[in-house]
Amino acid sequence: MKEQWNERYAAPEYIYGISPNRWFAEKLSQLKPGKLLLPAEGEGRNAVYAAKEGWEVFAFDQSDEGQKKALKLALVQNVTINYSLGDLIEFEPPQNNYDAIALIFVHMPAEIRQGVHRKLIEKLKPGGYLILEAFTKKQLQNTSGGPRSESLLYEREFIADDFKDLNMLEFEETITLLDEGPLHRGEAFVIRLLAKKSEN
């Protein structure tokens, strides 16, 4: 999988664009800046945006090609981001450390998805927020992006169960129009979530 993403990110253009995901940007703008964790951040578009908005950004991805492009984008945009190499299973950020965590099109097979999601809840500070956008299984009928394997796509029930320990503030399954670089363009079926960890 790492080799697959390195091959994709080795392209000279930013395959998902350099502008932030719209749902992420909209929800982040409603929160007070603090520490933000971005797992599987890829080419850095969301990390760089958040840093420009005053967040202290911690990102990681398994792809060193993605890391290179993210750090290059940060340099061009004159911001600083912390970007480590690591995968979703083995990477262990500190507990109760982040004011927000964002999972933007982070797709995992069922055998690890719930474990990773629940581990990330532990990384949120009390009162911290989770922002998520992901493709649903209906997305297989579209050519606007996302995994081509049904096992990597999500259903509302999966997300509801994975994050049942959080307070769901906004939770919807909807159709959106993507315009995020050459690999995310067109009508798409997505799940969107904004949730909050209890204060105590």
pLDDT of residue 5: 87
pLDDT at 141 over 90: yes
β-partners of residue 142 are none
Q: Where are the chain's structural domains?
A: 2-196
Alpha helices by DSSP H, the chain: 2-9, 22-28, 45-52, 64-76, 110-123, 156-162
| Chain position carrying tokens 């009928």 | 141
Q: Is the pLDDT of residue 1 over 90?
A: no
**For 164-175, how does the pLDDT look when each residue is reduced to its tens digit (9 = 90+)?**
999 999 999 999
- % the chain with pLDDT above 70: 100
Instruction: Tell me what the pLDDT averaged over the chain comes to.
Output: 95
Distance between CA atoms of residues 172 and 194, nearest Å? 9
Q: Residue 188's CB: how many other CB atoms inside 10 A?
A: 23
Q: Which fold has domain 2-196?
A: Rossmann fold (3.40.50)
* 30: DSSP letter: T
- pLDDT tens-digit profile of 4-50? 889 989 988 999 999 999 999 999 999 999 999 999 999 999 999 99
3-state secondary structure of 131: strand
Q: Mind listing the pLDDT tens digit for each residue in 68-80? A: 999 999 999 999 9
What percentage of the chain has pLDDT greater than the value 90? 90
Number of Cβ atoms within 10 Å of the Cβ of 199:
9
- pLDDT tens digits, one per residue of 95-137: 999 999 999 999 999 999 999 999 999 999 999 999 999 999 9
Give the DSSP H or E segment for 85: strand 82-85
Report strand pairing: 167-179 vs 124-135.
unpaired
* pLDDT(3) > 90: no
